[in-house]
Amino acid sequence: MKVDDILRLLRQEYGERVWKAGQEPVFVLVQTVLSQNTSDANSHRAFESLLAAFADWESVAAADTEAVAKAIRQGGLADIKAGRIQYMLRQIEERRGSLDLSFLKGLPLPDARSWLRSLPGVGPKTASCVLLFSLGMPALPVDTHVFRVAGRLGLIDSKATPEKAHNMLEAMVPSHDVYAFHLYLIEHGRRVCKAQRPRCSVCVLLSLCPSGLEAQARPPGTVA
């Protein structure tokens, strides 16, 4: 019931969130790799630069690594990410004969996730992003915002690892609400439930939040 209440309150606060068909899986896979350890703006610029520099993903896979790194330099950690992206693309080509990952849609969710995670450098968040945003499968990516907000709300154990958090949250969020839940927690984390100074006094989830209620009960000027 707590998840239902969270969804209801955040829907009232931020509006409806409905999944729409996104880019092909390999696009989302590369975008997610580029988003690691950088801002959304930088990763977007790096992705657009990569698309402009190469005709297709097969060209990226076959290119000199330095050329790929040059194209994504704005995204940070370019040398590491370039090698990782190329290795992933080559592995997909070797295993599937092409870079088409649409076959994942026909697999049970655990199998689709397992296949993606068998690729080098693909963790639970990256796999879930591909499955959710590209294929509309109920995989719940747990980024820093989702992890923080869910922890403060008491949905996950404070000692849970991000990987364990994926399993815990997917088990409690109805499959048809996974997309909205993910987006709501990210938006709420950015606007209200901030890492350093959460705005508990204006939070629509305060009555459901053990962390927020505890913070509000402390005398002004005290530190947890």
Which positions are catalytic?
A: 125
Element (H, E) at 85: helix 78-96
Residue 12 exposed, middle or buried by CB count within 10 Å (0-12, 13-18, 19+)? exposed
Nearest to 211 by CA among 145, 153, 167: 153
Strand, coil or helix: 166: helix
102 phi and psi, to 5 degrees? -65, -20
Question: Is the torsion defined by CA of 68, 74, 75, 78 positive or negative?
Answer: positive
Count other Cβ atoms within 10 Å, centred on residue 137.
20
Residue 3 exposed, middle or buried by CB count within 10 Å (0-12, 13-18, 19+)? middle
